[in-house]
Structure formats: structure tokens, C-alpha cells
Chains A and B, each alone.
Chain A
């Protein structure tokens, strides 16, 4: 079977995948920051710096996605992952009810 691959689509898909994974890492860092904030283990000045750094990271991600034109590709990877989790949960629920 012959598969036609457009170079640009391939690049966008690949970059989209990388950015989506980096975004998930960023969100994990955000979650860790919030946990530390709740635990009270950081001073107000440290929290301010952490918050500022994460905010800058958010902006950098937004800019990068816009510059590379991979907004849709990233969303598609994220939706795909969400769907995979949904399917797993659905299958578990379905199996329980039968």
C-alpha cells in the first residue's frame, strides 16, 4: 500500500507531538508548584519567583505554538490522549455494568 506523506504535515505533526509532551511536563511542574504552595514550604518571595517563571513559560508556549503553527496539532495530540483515557474508563465502566 502506498502512503502519501506531505513533508509539512509530517513536520507539524512531529513538532505538535513534542510540544504536547513538553506541555504535559509543564503542567506537572505547575501542579508541583501548587502542592508546594499548599504545603507552605516556600517563602512568599520564592512563590512569587516560581509563579513568574511559570507565567513566562506559559507565554513562551503560546508564542512557540503560534510561531510554529502547531496549535491544532498540539490540541489534536492532547484530545487523542484524553480520548484514550476516556475509552479506558468507559471500558472499565462498561465491563462493570455487564
Chain B
């Protein structure tokens, strides 16, 4: 992922965090910087005004240099910073611009939220942006072309521990035998027997979960260009996430990923969340 291009987060005229926390300042104060949404393939004549679809309704336009264009809006040099609700709105607006770019140009190289090109050392933001687009022209075009016709999909697979435990206990004769044996033993031996049974159960469940992850990962990889293994999340529910994958998939192969998701969800105790198509946030 390409990070923020700003030279100095504080900026030459920033006097403190309080001033930077005012989101409405962005377009009105001094639009000396350029907020960059992403890079798209473009020809020199392809100078497009996308209208007021950006953050806080800012006007988004294409800033073309050579064979690529940067989708930008004019803004102040301060990063967007305004609390959780405002940030969620901005991130959503950022996402919508990239979605539109994907459908319009067939490919987009997304920038991280709050990527702002600011003026520096006597150079304007436009000069800095043009320099960067010029220097990286070929490599950016290659990367954008490499993403053509592809999108990111999030595939999250979770399981219900209680259901998997029950299935393992029912299907494993060793556990059934240990359970029966414990009933006939004295208290101390029965305790050790139950502990042993729990250990075997845990081992079997872990094995089952490992197999589930491997199956999901390998099948997803078979129909994707690239797969990233993301951190599993715990949402506080009874479900446990076993796989959280970001998949870069050619759109004509999406049905295979969808079929995989359906197949996984068809098993009792397993749930699937398939999200997309998304701009390729994890693959740029």
C-alpha cells in the first residue's frame, strides 16, 4: 500500500492539533494541497471532472500525467481528523470514489485514506504531484494494468465451537469410549479420565479447524490471482473466525469463489461472509 505522501504531518502553518481537528476547514481555508484517492490508467486527453462526489462533497477530478491519472480533490494541507463518525463518512466517500473509478476505468490503484500531497520547499502541491506521476509513470501504469479486470473480495470463515465440539465428540470412538470409562471409575480416576477426554477433544477440534483453514485457503488461492491472510477478528459473539482472507480475483472467476463460499456455508456449524467486489486495497 502506498502511504501518505505528505512531507510533514504538522505542515508549515499548523499551530496545533486543535486547529487540525476542524474538518470543515478543508476546502474553505486554503486549498493548496491535493487529496489523492487513487491512480487510474489515462490518456493525455482524458481530463475528467467527476463532480462533487468526494469527501464532504468535494469536486473530484483527474490529474493526468503521461499514461496515468490521479483522482484528486483540492484541500488544505492538514490531514482529515474529526472523530469516529466523521472519519467513517470520509472513508466511505473515499471508497465510493474508488468504486466509481473501478467501474469507469476498469482498474484503480487505491491510495490510503488521508493521502495528501502538500506544497513543500517552494514547490506547489501540483508540481509535487506531477513530479511523482512523471517519475513513477511506467511503474504506476504497470501496476494499474496488472489490476485490470480484477477486484478484491474479503472471505471470512467462522465456526461455532459448540457445534464442532459436538460433531467431533459424536464421530470419535475414542472419546465415546473415554466417556463411558469415566462413568465406572472412582472420583480421582474419573477426573483424570475427563481431563484426558477434554485434551483429546481439543486436539481433534484444533485439527478440524486447521483442516478447514487449509481447505479454504487452498481453494481460494486456486481461483484468485493473490490471497492475503489477514488477522482473524473476534466480534464478541459465540462464533470463532478461522480464516480472514483478502483475495484478488479476476471478475470472470468470481463465480468460483462464490461457489466455494456456498459450499463452506453448507456445512453445519460453519458461516461465511463474502464481501466485494472492492477496490484492491490489499494488493497495491
Interface pair B228/A51, CB less than 8 Å apart:
no
Which range holds the interface residue count of chain B? 10 to 19
Q: Does B136 contact A (CB under 8 A)?
A: no
Q: Residues 129-140 of chain B: 1 if any A CB is under 8 Å from the residue's CB, otherwise 0? A: 000000000000
Residues of A within 8 A of B (CB): 30-31, 33-34, 37-38, 44, 47-55, 83, 86-87, 90, 93-94, 96-98
Interface pair A47/B192, CB less than 8 Å apart:
yes
Q: Which of chain B's residues have a CB closer than 8 A to the CB of A54?
A: 191-192, 195
Complex partner residue of A90 from B196, B199, B232, CB under 8 angstroms: B232
Residue among B192, B228, B230 with max Cβ neighbours from chain A (10 Å): B192
- The total of interchain contacts (Cβ-Cβ below 8 angstroms) comes to 54
Q: Which of chain A's residues have a CB closer than 8 A to the CB of B227?
A: 97
Q: Which of chain B's residues have a CB closer than 8 A to the CB of A87?
A: 231
Complex partner residue of A55 from B188, B199, B229, B234, CB under 8 angstroms: B188
Closest to A36 in B: B192
Interface pair B192/A50, CB less than 8 Å apart:
yes
Q: Does B189 contact A (CB under 8 A)?
A: yes
CA gap between A49 and B191 in the complex, in Å: 11
Interface pair B187/A51, CB less than 8 Å apart:
yes
Residues of B within 8 A of A (CB): 186-192, 195-196, 199, 227-232, 234
Interface pair B189/A90, CB less than 8 Å apart:
no
Interface pair A48/B188, CB less than 8 Å apart:
yes
Residue among A33, A51, A52 with max Cβ neighbours from chain B (10 Å): A51
Interface pair B189/A86, CB less than 8 Å apart:
no
Interface pair B229/A93, CB less than 8 Å apart:
yes
Interface pair A94/B231, CB less than 8 Å apart:
yes
Closest to B245 in A: A97
Q: Which of chain B's residues have a CB closer than 8 A to the CB of A94?
A: 228-231
Interface pair A51/B190, CB less than 8 Å apart:
yes
Given contacts A30-B195, A93-B229, 14 further A-B contacts (CB under 8 A): A34-B196, A38-B196, A47-B189, A48-B189, A50-B188, A50-B192, A51-B191, A51-B192, A83-B234, A90-B229, A90-B232, A94-B230, A94-B231, A97-B227
Interface pair A44/B232, CB less than 8 Å apart:
no
CA gap between A44 and B232 in the complex, in Å: 44
For residue A95, give the distance in angstroms from its CB to the closest CB of chain B.
9
Closest to A38 in B: B196
Given the contacts A48-B186, A51-B187, A55-B187, A37 and B192 also touching, CB distance less than 8 Å: yes
Q: Which of chain A's residues have a CB closer than 8 A to the CB of B228?
A: 94, 97-98
Residue among A44, A48, A83, A96 with max Cβ neighbours from chain B (10 Å): A48
CA gap between A48 and B186 in the complex, in Å: 7
Q: Which of chain A's residues have a CB closer than 8 A to the CB of B234?
A: 83
For residue A32, give the distance in angstroms from its CB to the closest CB of chain B.
11
For residue A55, give the distance in angstroms from its CB to the closest CB of chain B.
4
Complex partner residue of B229 from A44, A53, A97, CB under 8 angstroms: A97
Complex partner residue of A44 from B189, B230, B231, CB under 8 angstroms: B189
Complex partner residue of A47 from B188, B199, B232, CB under 8 angstroms: B188
Q: Which of chain B's residues have a CB closer than 8 A to the CB of A49?
A: 188
Interface pair A51/B189, CB less than 8 Å apart:
yes
